[in-house]
Structure 1
Amino acid sequence: MAKSPENIAIDQLDKDQMKTFSDFLMSYNRLSEMCFTDCVRDFTSRDVKENEEKCSLNCMEKYLKMNQRVSQRFQEFQMIANENALAMVKKTGK
């Protein structure tokens, strides 16, 4: 039995959501591992030391700010590329 267009769209949406969630988890895991490796030095206690906590928070904040800035720059470049493509289409008339 063939799938309806609505079912195909829902399947694609589910795949897109799973991909987005997977990407989020990969990024979160990468951040966690990176900050843990950089900040946690003492394994003799169960408690997180104040300097480790401070380091981890700074690490996370820097990573998120960097990620946000890269995303902004990417969007800026995409907008410029789209404007250039639109100008080229108008110029060539195609």
Structure 2
Amino acid sequence: MAKAPESISLDQLDKDQMKTFSDFLMSYNKLSEICFTDCIRDFTSRDVKDSEEKCSMNCMEKYLKMNQRVSQRFQEFQVIANENALAMAQKTGKH
């Protein structure tokens, strides 16, 4: 029994959403681990010190800016790669 095209696209949408969410969680966990390791030094109190909070915020901002910059560069690279592939296909007569 074959699946209807609508259910196939819904299945793919669900898989894509799960992949996106999984990627987000991995990134969030990595960010948390890095910033916790770099910033938290005192485990003798339940309170977060001002210096730890400031360090954590700076760490988070730097990580997110770096992640955004890498994503931007990757997109730029993809555009160039696609343009080169299209030019090569046109040059060889295949499109």
- The bucket for the TM-score relative to the shorter chain is over 0.9
Residues 14-55 of structure 1: per-residue CA shift (max 9 Å, x gap): 011001101100110010011001000000111100000000
1:78 aligned residue = 78
Tell me the distance in 2 between the aligned counterparts of 1:26 and 1:66.
16
Report the CA distance between 1:2 and its aligned residue: 2.6
2:39 aligned residue = 39
Report the CA distance between 1:90 and its aligned residue: 1.1
Tell me the distance in 2 between the aligned counterparts of 1:47 and 1:38.
17
1:90 aligned residue = 90
Tell me the distance in 2 between the aligned counterparts of 1:85 and 1:8.
30
Deviates more, 1:14-23 or 1:1-10: 1-10
Tell me the distance in 2 between the aligned counterparts of 1:79 and 1:3.
35
Matched, 1:52 2:37: no
Gaps of 5+ in 1: none
Report the CA distance between 1:3 and its aligned residue: 1.5
Q: Give the percent of matched residue pairs that are identical in Structure 1 and Structure 2.
A: 86
Q: TM-score, structure 1 length as denominator?
A: 0.97
Report the CA distance between 1:5 and its aligned residue: 0.7
RMSD of Structure 2 on Structure 1 (CA): 0.7
Tell me the distance in 1 between the aligned counterparts of 2:73 and 2:7.
36
1:9 aligned residue = 9
